[in-house]
Amino acid sequence: MPKPRAPRSAAAGMGLLLGTTVGVAVGLWAIGPAHGAAGRALLALVLPASIFALAGALSLPIVFRVAGAAPPARASDTRRIAGVRLLVATGAVAAAALLALALDRALAVGLPDTGWRPRLAVSFGVWLTLAAAALHLVRRLASERLEVAAAGAALAACGVLLAGVREPGVREPGAGETSVVAARPAQPVASLRAPAATASAHRPSLALIVLDTTRADHLSLYGYPRPTSPFLEKLAKDATVYDDAISPAPWTLPAHASLFTGQLPSVHDADTEHRWLDDRFVTLAEILQRAGYDTAGFSSNSVAGSIYNLHQGFARFDEVWRLRAKSGDDPLSRLLPASVLRWLDTGTLQGDKGASLVNRLVAGWLDARTENRDERPFFLFVNYIEPHLPYDAPEPWRSRFLERPLPPRLAAVTGADAPDVVFQLMGTGRGITPEERSRIGDLYDAGLAHQDARLAELVEDLVRRGLLDDTLLVIVSDHGENLGDHGGLLSHAFSVHQTLIRVPLVIRHPTLFARGVREKGLVSTLSVFATLLRAANAEPDPAFPPAADALTSGGVSAQGRAISEYGLPVYELSLLANEARGTDIRPFAVRQRAVQDARHKLVIRSPGTAQLYDLAQDPAEDHPMPAAGQPEAERLARILGETISDAPEATGDQAPATGGLDASTRDALRALGYVR
């Protein structure tokens, strides 16, 4: 005789009771012993309890309906039908786990800030509710102990699947770190002017945003005809923009080390031949932390992080590239297409190199500061890497800027092998064609525009929180990018041309920097270090005074010159030799220094060759002039020699390394008559 079916109302009631119980338990677990106000604690209970109760009330009647189906008429079919139903039940458990995981991802945004981990809690509650319902089904259907054991194993496997999954890119906080709360989706704002939450005229918060691999002349902010930086143009009306800012290095490690120490690469020595920032340098974050600042860094670039000791001084430092790589271990990544995973992660089909995750993590960190009532000023460092190779900007930016299909030879620059491909292209001997160069530029521009949109989200979040007007905001790039320039150079290797060292620099603060001002004078981004310390009323390490003065409001510090350095590109030379067999790499095996003023630029290459450029007449640097006998070259060489001679020793009390004047630079200066 068939077993009576469970009434739908009874099943719904059971699900409601189970879900409410689970929700309350999760809420109590999430609140912890030291949650905030009573109203927020109550919401932390009510919200999960409601969600889980709804899930249970909807799921149990469906499962019980299947479980209450009449058994087969013939006893011989019992085992077969029971096995089928067992598979169905096991599939239901697996589907419940996947559904919970989808909710875990999809609910990353949009839930109120209740102080609990909404994605993890919701996924746990939904999985537990549906798993209990499926277990009830299995117990009713299974006629053999073996089947019960199999069902239990399936439940355990699904539990492990779900328990091993966390919000992509979010790890459990370590010592001294705060937990991450999911960010709310960015909303457009009408103005960047908003009341400050805690005004502090003497010690504002500080935000250093590095737009990795961003050359100034491809930004609409700097006159580029395509709309690659509409948000920066909007921000410029409320900030000071430096039209001629020069990076001290053409690649990530030395440029970031200079931002963090205020020193030239030859002093901090973190460059191609010594890929490490030594502990003897007291970094910007360390100084600010000692001065009472809450310090946090979020880096999308593996070079700008702990691998090369650039995380010194940050109370919290999230290496987003590591978190994204770790999320690749997600079991679901082997079950669903990448586009679906992307939608579950971000709510859209677009992907990026970490900028969206950076914004969510920063928002979570700010949420935690609010939750903990942390009133200290903060120092926030962010690195976006969207324009960097591979050139694979998401839609809609890719379609907006890629006007024609890619030539076949360039298709790989959008994929994982792009770094190797660009060295193959540079070593072919014939260079890239004008058409190929144009298409590479299209892809690069799309990455810039996408990065600008993510930057807008971050800044607008500061506005919504009332933080922006009490924050000194510095937006700068570490270096630019060659896009087939200078005879077919690609990426950021082998060059100290303006395409790699002229970068954007925008500084905003309502009282410390003038609004809507364009500074035309030449500055070095070395000044960022001193500028941030001055705003914080903090002093640098006396052993390493800043190599450039702080920038001032309404006028540029008396610089008028900038020095850039590039060590022997050991790694890049090996790539070129391996990826383009037969290419003569000797012309690229040089160390380089560049010194420039408002018009002229002197480039000295080992073993002692020097070239002079007139940037006013030859902005593309297509026509180098011999430096010997040129008064401008002699003057710039004198500046270079004096600057390097006056710089602190790079090695302190340790054995000499590459600090000071190396032999090739000394030979070049001797040829110009300025050193003995």
Distance, C-alpha 671 to centroid of its chain: 44
Band the pLDDT of 663: cuts 50, 70, 90: low
Residues 580/427, Cβ–Cβ less than 8 Å: yes
647 lies in a domain?
Answer: yes
Q: Other C-beta atoms within 10 Å of 467: how many?
A: 22
Token pair, residue 535, equals 């705003």
Cis check: omega of the bond before 607, within 30 degrees of 0: yes
Most confident of 31-45, 125-139, 200-214, 615-629: 615-629
- Report pLDDT for 334: 43
Angle at 672 between CA 667 and CA 674, to 5 degrees: 85
- Report pLDDT for 79: 56
188 lies in a domain?
Answer: no
Token pair, residue 607, equals 């073993």
H-only helix segments in 465-541: 485-488, 498-501, 527-536
**What mean pLDDT is predicted for residues 366-382?**
95
Residues 47/114, Cβ–Cβ less than 8 Å: yes
- Report pLDDT for 395: 86
Where a domain ends, among 131, 146, 163? Answer: 163
Band the pLDDT of 415: cuts 50, 70, 90: confident
Helix, coil or strand: residue 449: helix
Distance, C-alpha 200 to centroid of its chain: 28
Cα(597)–Cα(605) distance, rounded to whole angstroms?
18
Least confident of 144-153, 432-441, 548-557, 642-651: 144-153
Band the pLDDT of 45: cuts 50, 70, 90: low
CATH at residue 599: 3.30.1120
626 lies in a domain?
Answer: yes
Cα(233)–Cα(342) distance, rounded to whole angstroms?
30
Closest CA to 556 of 528, 527, 525, 521: 521
- Please provide the distance, in angstroms rounded to a whole number, between the alpha carbons at the two ends of the chain: 108
306 lies in a domain?
Answer: yes
Most confident of 387-396, 460-469, 548-557: 460-469
- Sign, CA torsion 355/356/358/359: positive
Q: What mean pLDDT value characterizes the chain?
A: 76
Please write down the HEC assignment for all residues of 92-153: HHHHHHHHHHHHHHHCCCCCCCCCCCHHHHHHHHHHHHHHHHHHHHHHHHCCCHHHHHHHHH
Give the domain extent around 214: 205-560
Cα(658)–Cα(331) distance, rounded to whole angstroms?
47
Cα(332)–Cα(171) distance, rounded to whole angstroms?
17
Residues 298 and 353 in one domain: yes
Residues 540 and 626 in one domain: no
Band the pLDDT of 178: cuts 50, 70, 90: very low
Q: Other C-beta atoms within 10 Å of 543: how many?
A: 11
- Report pLDDT for 328: 44
pLDDT at 359 over 80: yes
Closest CA to 56 of 28, 20, 90, 26: 20
Residue 153 CB partners (closer than 8 Å, separation 6+): none
Residues 45 and 127 in one domain: yes
- Report pLDDT for 544: 94
Q: For residue 539, give the amino acid letter.
A: E
pLDDT at 243 over 80: yes
289 lies in a domain?
Answer: yes
Q: How confident is the model over 541-573, as pLDDT tens digits?
A: 999 999 999 998 766 555 789 999 999 999 899
- Report pLDDT for 527: 96
Please tell me which residue, 62 or 270, carries the higher pLDDT value. 270
Residues 145 and 238 in one domain: no
Where a domain ends, among 515, 542, 560? Answer: 560
Cα(66)–Cα(129) distance, rounded to whole angstroms?
17
pLDDT at 107 over 60: no
Least confident of 45-54, 411-420, 603-612: 45-54
Band the pLDDT of 266: cuts 50, 70, 90: very high
Residues 650/544, Cβ–Cβ less than 8 Å: no
pLDDT at 465 over 60: yes
Closest CA to 238 of 467, 469, 529: 469
- Report pLDDT for 18: 64
Cα(307)–Cα(363) distance, rounded to whole angstroms?
25
Residues 165/124, Cβ–Cβ less than 8 Å: no
Band the pLDDT of 389: cuts 50, 70, 90: very high
Percent of the chain having pLDDT more than 70? 61
Residue 417 CB partners (closer than 8 Å, separation 6+): none
**What mean pLDDT is predicted for residues 291-299?**
97
Q: Other C-beta atoms within 10 Å of 216: how many?
A: 24
Token pair, residue 544, equals 């390493």
Residues 625 and 512 in one domain: no
Domain count, the chain: 3
Residues 451 and 410 in one domain: yes
Residues 218 and 158 in one domain: no
Token pair, residue 492, equals 């950021």
Residue 144 CB partners (closer than 8 Å, separation 6+): 79, 82
Band the pLDDT of 490: cuts 50, 70, 90: very high
**What mean pLDDT is predicted for residues 563-587?**
89
CATH at residue 222: 3.40.720.10
Closest CA to 446 of 407, 406, 475, 486: 406
630 lies in a domain?
Answer: yes
Residues 454 and 393 in one domain: yes
Token pair, residue 307, equals 């691998």
| Helix (H) and strand (E) counts in the chain | 21, 16
Closest CA to 547 of 476, 617, 639, 638: 639
pLDDT at 172 over 70: no
Band the pLDDT of 81: cuts 50, 70, 90: low
- Report pLDDT for 74: 53
pLDDT at 454 over 50: yes
Residues 212 and 123 in one domain: no
Where a domain ends, among 113, 136, 163? Answer: 163
Residues 240 and 109 in one domain: no
Least confident of 10-19, 302-311, 463-472, 605-614: 10-19
Percent of the chain having pLDDT more than 90? 47
- Report pLDDT for 32: 45
Least confident of 190-204, 278-292, 499-513: 190-204
pLDDT at 10 over 80: no
**What mean pLDDT is predicted for residues 575-604?**
91
**What mean pLDDT is predicted for residues 265-277?**
94
- Report pLDDT for 404: 83
Residues 554 and 607 in one domain: no
195 lies in a domain?
Answer: no
Q: How confident is the model over 509-525, as pLDDT tens digits?
A: 999 999 999 999 999 99
Residues 625 and 485 in one domain: no
Band the pLDDT of 432: cuts 50, 70, 90: confident
118 lies in a domain?
Answer: yes
pLDDT at 240 over 80: yes
Cα(445)–Cα(442) distance, rounded to whole angstroms?
5
